[in-house]
Amino acid sequence: GENVEQHPSTLSVQEGDSAVIKCTYSDSASNYFPWYKQELGKRPQLIIDIRSNVGEKKDQRIAVTLNKTAKHFSLHITETQPEDSAVYFCAANGDKLSFGAGTTVTVRA
């Protein structure tokens, strides 16, 4: 089955700086790579996703890049704001959607 690894596990950034989270996956047949944001005590919510026929996708301050050859994908958040503080999960759809262990992002004011 699919194995998704995510790092770092925690990330602290100064407000206005960028944050980068990296994930690797094992199943070369995976073709869909979403990122979810989970605030404390809340449900995970999709923030951006990318399919394997695209190398990069951007939505305002958030971007995701995908390297199919290396089987890794990354989330980039620019101009971080306090409301970006949350746990972020990457995922990949091998035969089912499998999640990474999460990255706790803290944005320091």
Q: Which residues bind another protein (CB under 8 A)?
A: 1, 6, 31-32, 34, 36, 42-46, 49, 51, 89, 93, 95-102
Choose between 51 and 108: whose C-beta lies nearer to another protein: 51
* Cα separation, 96 vs 65, whole angstroms: 21
Query: Phi/psi class of residue 43: alpha, beta or left (left: φ > 0; alpha: ψ in -120 to 50)?
Result: beta
Asked if residue 77 lies in contact with residue 61, where contact means CB atoms within 8 angstroms, the answer is: yes
Backbone angles phi, psi at 103, to 5 degrees: -125, 120
We find the least distance from the C-beta atom of residue 21 to another protein, in angstroms, to be 12
Q: Return the structure tokens found at 31.
A: 């073709």
Choose between 31 and 78: whose C-beta lies nearer to another protein: 31
Choose between 70 and 96: whose C-beta lies nearer to another protein: 96
We find the least distance from the C-beta atom of residue 100 to another protein, in angstroms, to be 5
